[in-house]
Chain A
């Protein structure tokens, strides 16, 4: 089943003739298709999940919608492709999707060896552990001998082995294919501990039968900068993705949101706001986009804070604090290069 998918994707790499790959840029290709092909997860509460009307929503989904808004002026012109952790890279390499927005950790190997270009960090995360409260464990250092549920094809798998090795502890891995399978195995008691990125743990806990019976241990054992990525070889396409993300971060920093963006477009005096919204300068045109692309993104999707609070913030079942993901001015490390 999975093998077939991978094989089909590998065959797709083969089938693409050399000519078409070079002739048309990704932006032209997306425009001629009339929609953006965006890779998301198979379902992770708050990040990318289909709602009961079958529409995709979540933090990662909203980024795709923002890119669509920047290109087409319409955030609904996105086709979502659910991918497992295992399939996601092949799907991107083979051209099945144009952009991957699927809580993917930026690492050197993925950036270089797999031939990808990371567009920035949309969520600063770290790997944590979840365990039943009645086990009476307070620290990850007490996990010697535990069996641990992990999702295959993730950096989590490697961090876990490193962490137990450096702390001279042993563990039994229970490796499954999707995050939902991992949660089910953990809930059934097949393993003692469930590990993934802390944001993912919060998301999975919110979908459990009794969320209050589980706790997340205080140790964060890795850096997991999550962000969207594209294939190597089309620098302009990478620039578009990068500056859409930066536009959302800059908008929050400058106090521009979906509520006041119309007003600011007409009346703003701050030159950076004017450049961001396209009333001054040629920022959009340099990227091959409409000059007011960031206006469309903010108006139709929202700035970073709006997207964060709507999907994963403290008011949602996930209840995540901004933490590291606050603006640099507010004690976080979210920092966009300037719009100049």
Chain B
């Protein structure tokens, strides 16, 4: 480099004509400007907040919240702190996102595959569904499902499902299991069954490779996983009872509740995202050359197996990266739950807490940081998965 520069100097050219140097200089300038701007924003905000007499800092998180939240994963009383309200909201966000992602993936894959069936009616029906759902704003769909939930029968005329569970416009009230001593044998049995199932799968796979004989591992494993815990449960003398909801003066008491707000948000999020996932799955499958299918058929592989063993594994490489974006979208969109009063992060920390304490900047900053963290985590996991299924090149 030094020689290079010296030579250039001799030739009478300045540093400015050196593309590499110029590039570095411009990048440094850009970083400097962005940094200055950021520093200005931060100091200016702090200054203005101080001037308006608004207290800043995160001390408010440890102050008693004073309000009540219902249907949270952790118990929350008015005497708990704002921090606990934040955690309760966060868990609700994670709950609706996680269930939503699973549901959206299942529905999306089914729709995507159906979209490609030779059955004209089915394929067009799915096509219509996808076009309608993905072209209506999500917020409207949330309101729609909420309106549907609210139009269910009132609590006094609740639909009796016959097993101690009831559906009304206050949600689904179902018996809550109460675990008694001795119940711990059931999860242990389940764990053993899962370990056993894994061993069976491995053995079946090895046997098939060695002898070509197929062992019905799926059915055996299913039986193992279902039967073993059930046997353990009865063997231990049924150590579980149910807290059955009963109609009191005001609605049902006891049991556990799935609120209409949760169901409305979950349905809207997962059906909306499923429409996008269906298109991604379709694109992924279509990306695999038809020659692959023909080659599989030529080898005498059944159509169902062709899909499972040849097409889907290759299509996943195309599907996973855009699928990741859909998962991120779904998680972020769950913040719209605040519109119908679902107690997620934006409703608790950026809603009630922000309002009761007035710490707008802090609450919004924490909320943004949390969404960023969740999104980056999903990205990371999906990227790891993507790397695992990527084409191994030699």
Contact = CB atoms under 8 A, between A and B. Distances in A.
Interface in A123-182: 135, 142-147, 152-153, 157-158, 160-162, 164-165, 171-177, 181
A303 B55 CA distance: 38
B111 interface: no
A79 interface: no
Contact of A3 (B170, B249, B251, B338): B338
Contacts of B170: 147, 190
Interface stretch (B273-281, B349-357, B384-392): B349-357
Nearest to A88: B355
A234 to B, nearest CB: 11
B372 to A, nearest CB: 14
A183 B31 CA distance: 52
Interface residues of A, number: 56
A173 B51 contact: no
A85 B68 contact: no
Contacts of B70: 172-173
A251 B150 CA distance: 49
B364 A1 contact: no
Contacts of A16: 48
Given A3-B335, A3-B338, A177-B339, A153 B248 contact: no
A13 B49 contact: yes
B68 A173 contact: yes
Contacts of A85: 355
Contacts of B260: 190
Contacts of A176: 340-341
Contacts of A113: 54-55, 357-358
A10 B352 CA distance: 16
B30 to A, nearest CB: 22
A14 B358 contact: no
A331 interface: no
Contacts of B347: 152, 175
A115 B248 contact: no
A165 B67 CA distance: 11
B68 A86 contact: no
A250 to B, nearest CB: 30
B52 A3 contact: no
A244 interface: no
Nearest to A2: B338
A200 to B, nearest CB: 17
Given A6-B350, A162-B66, A13 B356 contact: no
A18 B51 contact: yes
Interface stretch (B39-47, B178-186, B235-243): B39-47
B113 interface: no
B221 to A, nearest CB: 42
Contacts of A171: 68
A9 to B, nearest CB: 7
B326 interface: no
A328 interface: no
Nearest to B49: A13
A153 B351 contact: yes
A189 B155 CA distance: 8
B150 A188 contact: yes
Contacts of A161: 66-68, 78
Nearest to A90: B360
A192 interface: yes
A162 B77 CA distance: 11
7 contacts: A6-B360, A10-B361, A18-B44, A110-B358, A113-B358, A114-B358, A190-B150
Interface of B: 41, 44-45, 47-49, 51-55, 66-70, 78-79, 139, 150-151, 154-155, 169-170, 248-251, 253, 260, 335-336, 338-341, 343, 346-347, 350-352, 354-358, 360-361, 364, 367
Given A115-B358, A147-B170, 7 more contacts: A6-B354, A18-B48, A142-B249, A144-B249, A175-B352, A189-B155, A190-B150
